[in-house]
Structure 1
Amino acid sequence: MPLRYQPMPSDLAARYRRLEPDAYGLAPERHVSDGQGMPCRHCLANIAAGDPYLILAYRPFPELQPYAETGPIFLHAEECTAYAGADVPPILTTSRDYLLRGYSANDRIVYGSGAVTAVEDVTTRAGELLEQTDIAYVHVRSARNNCYQCRIERA
């Protein structure tokens, strides 16, 4: 099944770069990258050493509801190009495994869909989940810290 890896929406990334409030109503924090494990959720690539970045609370859901998880993410402080490739993005190649979880069209977790998945099996597992009619999209999260990475949809 062809997949599409979705980054944070560009309009939202632009708002955060203007230091508009995050999901907790706070201004994003500005830092300088040491180049170690700071994946940007807009270009879906690691933030290079010396580059400025933002840390902010992100809720990748359209509205508040019981399953709308919020957590910390990194974002290039300067404009970057939104990831638009069909291949596995760079940020999903830096860990040995990730948590994949399916969500319904009304943004609720589909119980039984969540599993820690080896990096080499992410594409296969996402495709299997998206073959289920009750799953509209898949979130990829850190298997260790539960940080949101990106969304996977049917292409």
Structure 2
Amino acid sequence: MPRFTALPTDIVEAYRAGAPDAFGNPPERQISDGAGNPCRHCLRHVPKGAGMLVLAYKPFAGTHPYAEVGPIFLCADTCERGGGTALPEVMGTAPDYLIKGYGADDRIVYGTGSVTATPALHQRIAAIFADPKVAYIHARSARNNCYQARIDRD
């Protein structure tokens, strides 16, 4: 079974303390309207009326042509890190997702990317992991290209 992996707590705590985002800006503080604000740490939606952070996130250590940057949301207050083999709450609300495999070199493994209907995610993830060149998968919003979660082999 694949494992959905949330952002590490130490990185999230740094953002909560004002660490700069991928573009060197402090995270913006906003109030959630209760819809479409998935926290990338607890992998749940930020509750309506709760504080949240909005920032540019790059899920790669270095800079290279495949190191995509995009907006993400985080709970402004402490939340428990999510993840596991079950589809996270935040990924059960959209009709589909863009998923693509990456090699150990953090480059896209061509031929693995697809917009996949949510009910078919586990099947498509298994097909991507059948390629031995794939080290991990990223799930992104099919509409806004926002990073959702990393998917690892369990």
Using the size of structure 2 for normalisation, the TM-score is 0.98
Can you give the 5+ residue segments of structure 1 that lack an aligned partner in the other structure? none
Aligned to 2:95: 96
Aligned to 2:153: 154
1:57 aligned counterpart, secondary structure: strand
2:86 aligned counterpart, secondary structure: coil
CA distance in 2, matches of 1:127, 1:149: 18
Number of residue pairs matched by the alignment: 154
After superposition, give the CA deviation of every residue in 1:22-56 in whole Å (9 maximum; x if it has no partner): 11100000011110110000000001101100000
CA distance in 1, matches of 2:141, 2:81: 20
Can you give the 5+ residue segments of structure 2 that lack an aligned partner in the other structure? none
Structure 1 ranges of 4+ moved more than 2 A: none
The answer as to whether partners of 1:96 and 1:118 remain within 8 angstroms in 2 is yes
> How big is the shift at 1:123?
1.1
Q: Counterparts in 2 of 1:40-55, with a 5 A limit?
A: 40-55=39-54
CA distance in 1, matches of 2:25, 2:7: 18
CA distance in 1, matches of 2:140, 2:57: 13
> How big is the shift at 1:85?
2.4
The letter of the residue matching 2:81 is: A
After superposition, give the CA deviation of every residue in 1:114-142 in whole Å (9 maximum; x if it has no partner): 10000001111111111210000010000
Using the size of structure 1 for normalisation, the TM-score is 0.97
2:84 aligned counterpart, secondary structure: coil
Aligned to 1:74: 73
Aligned to 1:13: 12
1:100 aligned counterpart, secondary structure: strand
Aligned to 1:119: 118
The answer as to whether partners of 1:139 and 1:151 remain within 8 angstroms in 2 is yes
